[in-house]
Amino acid sequence: MNINGAIFILITNMTFQNVFAVINVFCAELPVFKREHFNGMYRTDVYFLCKTIAEIPVFIAIPVIFISISYYMIGLSPGPERFWMAVTILTLSANVATSF
């Protein structure tokens, strides 16, 4: 039961951390985006794709560092394939939270 709670906290922490980071940046960039979008400089989908691609290194590095520290502290399975599966799942869930 403790491991289930730890996994829940890991995923929840990464999800909310990325959601709040995106919300803060989006609120700050909204006036600039509106001005440039209505002046015909770029479309909404181009803005979204470019912003997502530019943020990928950060939103991959943070979950990898986070799970690398906490994985063995929690005492999850010590096998490397299980570790990389956890890294993949946490990284994907963090990126999904970023894109919503």
Structure-token pair, residue 92: 């994907």
| Whole-number Å distance between alpha carbons of 72 and 3 | 12
- Whether residue 68 contacts residue 40, with contact meaning beta carbons closer than 8 Å, is answered with no
pLDDT digits (tens, 9 = 90+) for 6-21: 889 888 998 888 888 8
pLDDT at res. 81: 93
What are the tens digits of pLDDT across the range 39-94?
988 898 888 888 888 888 988 999 999 999 999 888 888 889 999 999 999 999 88
In this predicted structure, what is the pLDDT of residue 100? 64
For position 59, what pLDDT does the model report? Answer: 85
Q: What pLDDT shows up at residue 61? A: 92
**What is the pTM assigned to this prediction?**
0.75
Query: What gap in Å lies between CA 32 and CA 53, rounded to an integer?
Result: 19
Instruction: Collect contacts of 59-65 with beta carbons under 8 A, ≥24 apart.
Output: 59/18, 59/91, 59/94, 59/95, 59/98, 60/91, 60/95, 62/14, 62/17, 62/18, 62/94, 63/14, 63/87, 63/90, 63/91, 63/94, 64/91
The mean pLDDT value for 18-40 works out to 86
Tell me, what's the pLDDT at 35? 92
Q: Can you give the C-alpha Rg of the chain in angstroms?
A: 17
